[in-house]
Structure 1
């Protein structure tokens, strides 16, 4: 189990292998982001995207799936996330793309008011199969402290 004490600022990880399907792009868009360029080839062809593309929110969801699979495999003492500081959709994601994530821990600090938990900030970039960034974000996390009396509050 990875706890707050085990995390080192500067640590990098690369993970994920998510194949984007046409069916999933349309299903997600139908439910959550029903804009024509996420639903219809003809409509999408007339836009900046040039063809059917995934919703940015769908790209976030696929990234989240890869993150959860990675961190669950590591057996992290994660307590969730209080949000995202930055988020940008850099390039469209298309059916047939294969996504992966690179993450770097850029900050950690122990909570002063709740010493049993620590806060993290991670820079994450999702790439397509060509190595092109499609999503960039700074995500915040909360992680359990193994033994609050052994960690210096920051």
Structure 2
């Protein structure tokens, strides 16, 4: 089972380098209220993301990051230090859940595991790789559960 806590320093992986059960752990990202509000004002301007007072009376009971902010930070962590794929992280769909809100002060990391590899029948040299990516905070609480399907290329001949 491969583990790459710092994929930036590790070799880049092709299809032949992956196996079901391989695990990857990203670096971290500390989130504060200013980041939450800045993202929300631009992409999800709802009061529970932009206004701390309004957020206290909301479903969330306090300021919460947009789920899309958590997803964007997850992608940043995966690209920079999470899954060292040679041709990039190319998504083709998946399932996404946010079991609890991301809050100011949370320090995010992503733990990923290869759960399936299905070679393409029509495009030799590539496969659909299923992953399970969990975005956790500093207490190990799951903030996002993501099950993407990635297009992964084989090493060129």
Q: Shared topology, TM-score over 0.5?
A: yes
Please give the alpha-carbon distance, in whole angstroms, between the structure 2 residues aligned to 1:27 and 1:82: 28
Q: How many residues align?
A: 146
Q: What are the ranges of 5 or more consecutive residues in structure 1 without an aligned counterpart?
A: 149-154
TM-score scaled by length of structure 2:
0.87
Matched residue, 2:40: 29
Residue of structure 2 in register with 1:65 after alignment:
76
Residue 78 (1) aligns with residue 121 (2): no
Superimposed CA distance per residue, residues 97-154 of structure 1 (whole angstroms, 9 cap, x where no aligned partner): 1001111100012111110211101001111111111100101111111258xxxxxx
Q: Distance in 2 between matches of 1:53 and 1:116?
A: 42
Distance 1:39 1:71 in 2: 29
Segments of 5+ residues of structure 2 without an aligned counterpart are 1-11
How far apart in 2 are the matches of 1:79 and 1:100?
A: 17
Structure with higher Rg: it is 1
TM-score, normalization by structure 1: 0.88
1:43-64 Cα deviation digits (max 9, x unpaired) = 1000132211100000000000
User: Is 1:11 the equivalent of 2:50?
Assistant: no
Contact 1:78-1:141 at 8 Å conserved across structures: no
Q: Which has the higher helix share?
A: 1
Give the 3 Å change call, closer, same or farther, for CA 89–71 of structure 1 in structure 2: closer
Deviating beyond 6 angstroms after TM superposition, the runs of 4 or more aligned structure 1 residues are none
User: In structure 2, what is the equivalent of residue 151 of structure 1?
Assistant: none
Aligned CA RMSD, in angstroms, stands at: 1.6
Q: Out of 118, 130, 140, which is 1:121 matched to?
A: 130
Q: Deviations over 1:32-80 (max 9, x none)?
A: 11111000011100013221110000000000000000257x3523361
